Every structure is written in structure tokens, then in C-alpha cells.
A = this chain, B = another copy of it.
Amino acid sequence: MNRKPIRVGVLGATGAVGQRFISLLDTNPWFTITAVAASERSTGARYADACTWRLPGDCPDSVRDLPVQPCEPGLDCDIVFSALPADIARDVEVQMAAAGYGVFSNASAHRMDPDTPLLIPEVNPDHLALIPIQREKRGWDKGFIVTNPNCSTIGLTLALKPLHDAYGVRIVMVTTMQALSGAGYPGVPSLDILDNVIPYIKGEEEKMIQEPRKILGDFVPTEGKVRPAFMLISPSCNRVAAIDGHLETVSVELEREAAVEEVIAAFRNFTSLPYELGCPSAVNPTIIVRDEPDRPQTRRDRDAGNGMTITVGRVRPCEVLEHKFVVLSHNTIRGAAGASILNAELMVAQGMI
């Protein structure tokens, strides 16, 4: 890409996902961070002072001296990445889009809005056709909101996509074992998780039921909206003592019969539009299938493809449905900040930004 880096801002820049955005954007060749915004408590301070950096290593030099600004129009940038909590994101993201910013949001607030793309670039790039509809409906000029799915949804949906395309997925049973970073910071108290498993994550199962159906749904031009995929999904969500990486056991029922080898081939042959378009965060392959009986493992596989590749393993027949397998994805990269950045890269690559 022979153009100048695009000027970007991060909303909620001091939190756990915000730091991940900063960390990934710092080395992204297409974007340059020119604004950081956070809650009132932090505004005015230097970013390095306002933020207790909790990722390995240090806060990148490029943002250390940026002043923390309020989360409102006036930020010196063209697009913003939102790591805001859902309740705050609801209004702020609309204000930003109305003021002309492109908003790439990791928040859940607008994911299920009918006029808003819930985007995984490898899965449903055509849903970006919602953007002109969104602008028209909301009266926005050049601003927009594009969302990425929940961190537990994204690994599952990426794994379902090639199966759905080839054989039609009708039923999904999924049990998650989700990492601590998914709860943000301070998040899960250590007394709640050491030598323990918590079989509940508030709001998570609801998201896993809805979001894959929208993402795997068809954009219907004549209706100007996405018709959700018809698919029953039963999730059981658990929190386990891992830093990063959501592991999920999955059983699926397909519309058309497929041998195990065909399922594996579907995973392996899955191609990536953003990779073909040269998006810097895109990886190839998007899906790795491991042959060892005991892989993927959370710590050993979460960083595959810089955290953007998902890893599938144990593909085998299910005693009840048709096939079962295990899928792992890095929840704060593939499942949050990296996902949002790849969404922006797709729009850049397609000339939409």
C-alpha cells in the first residue's frame, strides 16, 4: 500500500483491550495512532502516566506522550477503534459515527443492530454492504460503525464457516473454556479461579447463540438486511485459569453428509479474502488443523499466526451429532483487538476508507 498511514484513535485506550489495540496498532504499517481516549478520570494525563501497562514489555514509545482525551468527537484522527464497555459504547460510538469517524468496535452494544455489520473479514465481507444502508438510515455522512463479534463467538464461527459453506451447519453444541483476559482488568479475582473452574460467564451464552447466526447469515440486497442463518446453537460457557486463549469443544450436525476427511479438508482449504488482498494482519492459513490427539492446547497454540490463526484439532465423529472437534483462538487478538483491526484493514483494502 503506497499511501500514507491512516490516522487512528483508540477509545478506552487504557483498559485491557485498549492496551492490546495500542500494542497491535503500534507495529501496523497501515495505521498510525494519533489519539487516545479514555474515561474522565484519565483525561489530560500523558498516556504513559494514565495507563498501568499490563501486557508483557513496556508501553510503546509512539503513544507514551499522547495526551488522553475524552471519548467524544474532536479526536485528531479519521477512524477510531472502540474498546469501550458496552453501556458506554452505545452512545459514544453513535456520536463518533455521526461526527464522521469510522468506528470499529469491539463492544457488544451495536453488534445486533440490523443495519450494522457484525464482521469477520474471512467469513462475511459482503456484509459491508450494510454500510450505505446504515449511513442512510442514520443520516450519517461518512461515519459508520462496524463491529466484531464476541471473543468466544469468533473462533467458533471461523471454524463453522467452511463447514457451513460446504455442508450446511444445522446444529451446534459448544462448551467453552475461556481465558481470564476475556474478562478485562481487574476482571476475575484470583481467589475465584486458582484451583477452580467457574461454569458461568454473564451474557456470554446469549451472544454465542445470536452472533454466529448473524455472521453466517445472508445479506439480502433486496431487503437491505442480513437474514440470519438457521442454526440451533447450545453453548455452555466456563472460565478457566488461563491467561489468554479460548478453547471450545464443538459438536455439529450437518445438512449434507460429510466424512471426517472431508471436514478436515474443508478446514484446511479455507481461504482468506483479507489475506489475498494483502491486509497486514491477515494470516495464511486462517485455520490450522493439528493431527496430535492432544492439540490444540491453550498455551501452546494461542499465538499461532501472531494470534490471528485459529487452531482446530481432534476432528472425529460425534456419538450424537455428526462430527466433533476442538477449536482454539486467541481471545484478545483474534477475538478482540486484532479482529477489529482486520475489519478496518479490509475496508481500506477495498477502498472503503
Contacts and interface: CB of A to CB of B under 8 A. Distances in A.
Interface string A223-238: 0000000001111101
B297 A171 contact: no
Nearest to A184: B191
A64 interface: no
A180 B171 CA distance: 32
Interface stretch (A125-133, A194-202, A267-275): A194-202
A249 B233 contact: no
A175 interface: yes
A241 interface: yes
Given A198-B294, A232-B319, A324-B236, A191 B243 contact: yes
A312 to B, nearest CB: 11
A180 to B, nearest CB: 5
Contacts of A177: 177, 197, 238, 240
Contacts of A320: 171-173, 232-234
Interface stretch (A30-38, A139-147, A299-307): A299-307
Interface in A234-285: 234-236, 238, 240-243, 247, 249, 251
A326 B190 CA distance: 22
Interface residues on A, range: 35 or more
A299 to B, nearest CB: 4
A314 interface: yes
Given A194-B194, A243-B299, 17 more contacts: A56-B299, A56-B300, A181-B191, A188-B191, A189-B189, A194-B299, A195-B195, A195-B298, A196-B299, A199-B249, A199-B295, A199-B297, A232-B319, A232-B320, A236-B251, A241-B241, A241-B242
3 nearest A-B pairs in the assembled complex, by CB-CB distance: A175-B175, A186-B189, A236-B249
Interface of A: 16, 54-57, 171-173, 175, 177, 180-181, 185-200, 202, 209, 232-236, 238, 240-243, 247, 249, 251, 293-301, 303-304, 313-314, 318-321, 324, 326
